[in-house]
Amino acid sequence: MSDDVVPREATETPRTTPTELRRVVAGATVGTALEWYDFFIYGTAAALVFNVLFFPQADPVVGTLTAFATFGVGFVFRPLGGIVFGHIGDRIGRRETLILTTLVMGLSTGLIGLLPTYDAIGAWAPALLVLMRVLQGLGAGAEFGGAATLLAEHAPPARRGYYTSYAQTGVQIGLVLGNIAFLLVALLPEDQLLSWGWRVPFLVSFLMIGIALYVRLRVEESPVFRDMRARQTVVRMPVLEAFRSYPRNLLIGVGAHIADTAAAYLFATFTVSYATSTLGIPRGTVLTGVIIFGVVVIALQPVYGALSDRIGRKPLNVFSVVFLAAFIYPFFLLLQTREPVLVVVALVVVTAFGWAPMIAVQPAFYAELFGARVRYSGFATSREVGAALAGFTPLIAAGMVAAAGGAPWVVAAYMIGLCAISFVAFVAAPEMKDVDIADAGPARLSGGR
């Protein structure tokens, strides 16, 4: 036990009732969906309108690259959000921290919808946009780790993978809602879309704050954290303790999140820009394809989560990242056909087998990497550093395509390289589906089986 832990006589960890577990699942799913709706709509707007409204350039390619650069700014600040809010979550509680992140994400996203454009205030417009993106990054850096931690610590041990997969389901619901919002406003005439239509998806976030807070305020704190508080074993500096006790698992966590982050924004953000601008595929067709692949992922998350409870997290992670690397070239070949049905097939196949298993397992995988006293900090910090390393994928991919004269094959090679990094992390990770996350310590978690 570290010096900055004050022990107390042990008490039995309270159990979560079925009714409370349903509330926790609803709170994690709905809250995460609304928060990631906020984060994803920025990426869609960057692909479709921000290059014109906030970064006007004589060369449209430069405007698009600049818009994607600001998209990546959110990823730079996600590790900081993970560290700051992870510390708060391990010190005062998971539930209270998630309420705070809801406010940060909701307000910053809603304010984007009120920003004047470049034509109105010049350089102040992109500066304010970047500031809002920074706040989004801080909130996003803590959101998923907190929701998944809360679910993992409430879930029955034998069904942890199933129940925690709903945190990832919420992320995909946010993706679908964001694309539906832009699919609807994209039906407007071009001048109306650029004058006011693009603002609507962002302004809706103000309404979503109330929904998310209502759901999350009805959720009880994690029984594991309540027990830690009763025992007075809360760590004073959880981030430092995580680095001291779990250095290997932190590195695994960083590497594990690189391939799926890059894939998420390659398919949901870069593909929208590439297919519409370079290939000339109608905007509605591409957004519809993204929505369909999001729906497929939503349906598969609990299936893969439950499967991981039977066969383990590691087999699904390894299979998923290998399939992703193998299918990335065929994915671009199908896009090149410009056939709407084949574009949708490409998105669905690569998602169903090359991405969905990996992200369904992710909440349980990360929760099991760290002991209870530093779980939120270790989870959020390692995962969001990985996200930051891969978050500039849309910018890098757009630059590669521009340099290659529109050819996407260098982007495919880049993705294969990122998949190799995550493959190494998954192979090095211990299989811990049966670990007791209420009292697991460094001696049990830092090694493999």
Please name the residue that has the structure tokens 């009732």: 17
Token pair of 209 as six digits: 């704050």
Task: Establish if 11 belongs to a structural domain.
Answer: no
Is residue 32 over pLDDT 50? Answer: yes
Are 355 and 260 in contact by the 8 Å Cβ rule? The answer is yes
Q: State how far the Cα of 395 lies from the Cα of 66, in Å rounded to an integer.
A: 8
Provide the 10 A C-beta neighbour count for residue 375: 32
pLDDT at 395: 77
Task: Establish if 191 belongs to a structural domain.
Answer: yes
Q: State how far the Cα of 82 lies from the Cα of 436, in Å rounded to an integer.
A: 24
Q: Where residue 63 falls among pLDDT bands split at 50, 70, 90?
A: low
pLDDT at 60: 62
Token pair of 232 as six digits: 């007075």
Contacts of 88 (CB under 8 A, 6+ apart): 96, 97, 100
Q: State how far the Cα of 247 lies from the Cα of 155, in Å rounded to an integer.
A: 26
Q: Which of 52-56, 129-133, 135-139, 236-240 has the lowest mean pLDDT?
A: 52-56
pLDDT at 416: 95
Q: Where residue 158 falls among pLDDT bands split at 50, 70, 90?
A: very high
Is residue 108 over pLDDT 70? Answer: yes
Q: State how far the Cα of 126 lies from the Cα of 53, in Å rounded to an integer.
A: 9
Provide the 10 A C-beta neighbour count for residue 301: 28
Task: Establish if 203 belongs to a structural domain.
Answer: yes
Q: State how far the Cα of 270 lies from the Cα of 15, in Å rounded to an integer.
A: 44
CATH number at residue 117: 1.20.1250.20
Tell me the per-residue pLDDT of 406-415, one tens digit each, with 9 for 90 and over. Answer: 788 898 999 9
pLDDT at 61: 64
Please name the residue that has the structure tokens 């209270």: 96
CA 383 to chain centre: 9
Q: b/e per residue, 102-121, with b = 16+ CB within 10 A? A: bebbbbbbbbbbebebbeee
Task: Establish if 22 belongs to a structural domain.
Answer: yes
Q: Where residue 302 falls among pLDDT bands split at 50, 70, 90?
A: very high
Over the Cα atoms of the chain, what is R_g? 21
Q: Where are the alpha helices (DSSP H) in 156-196?
A: 160-185, 190-192
CA-based max dimension of the chain: 69
Tell me the per-residue pLDDT of 359-392, one tens digit each, with 9 for 90 and over. Answer: 999 999 999 999 989 999 999 999 989 988 887 7
Q: Where residue 190 falls among pLDDT bands split at 50, 70, 90?
A: confident
Q: How far is CA 357 from CA 149, 150, 315, 393, in A?
A: 19, 21, 10, 21
Q: State how far the Cα of 409 lies from the Cα of 403, in Å rounded to an integer.
A: 12
Provide the 10 A C-beta neighbour count for residue 168: 31
Instruction: Give the residue with greater pLDDT, 344 vs 318.
Output: 318
User: What is the total count of domains within the chain?
Assistant: 1
3-state secondary structure 392-410: CHHHHHHHHHHHCCCCCHH
Tell me the per-residue pLDDT of 350-362, one tens digit each, with 9 for 90 and over. Answer: 989 999 999 999 9
Task: Establish if 106 belongs to a structural domain.
Answer: yes
Contacts of 355 (CB under 8 A, 6+ apart): 260, 263, 264, 267, 297, 320, 324
> Which SS3 state, helix, strand or coil, does residue 170 take?
helix
> Which SS3 state, helix, strand or coil, does residue 117 take?
coil
Task: Establish if 230 belongs to a structural domain.
Answer: no
pLDDT at 10: 39
pLDDT at 441: 52
How high does pLDDT run on average in the chain?
84
Are 164 and 151 in contact by the 8 Å Cβ rule? The answer is yes
Task: Establish if 5 belongs to a structural domain.
Answer: no
Residue 185: HSE in the Cβ half-sphere, 13 Å Cα cutoff: 24
Counting residues of the chain whose pLDDT is more than 90, the rounded percentage is 33
Q: How far is CA 86 from CA 93, 270, 317, in A?
A: 10, 30, 25
Tell me the per-residue pLDDT of 210-255, one tens digit each, with 9 for 90 and over. Answer: 888 888 888 888 888 888 888 877 788 898 999 999 999 999 999 9
pLDDT at 6: 36
Instruction: Give the residue with greater pLDDT, 269 vs 227.
Output: 227
Task: Establish if 28 belongs to a structural domain.
Answer: yes
Domain with 267 in it: 18-221+236-445
Is residue 13 over pLDDT 60? Answer: no
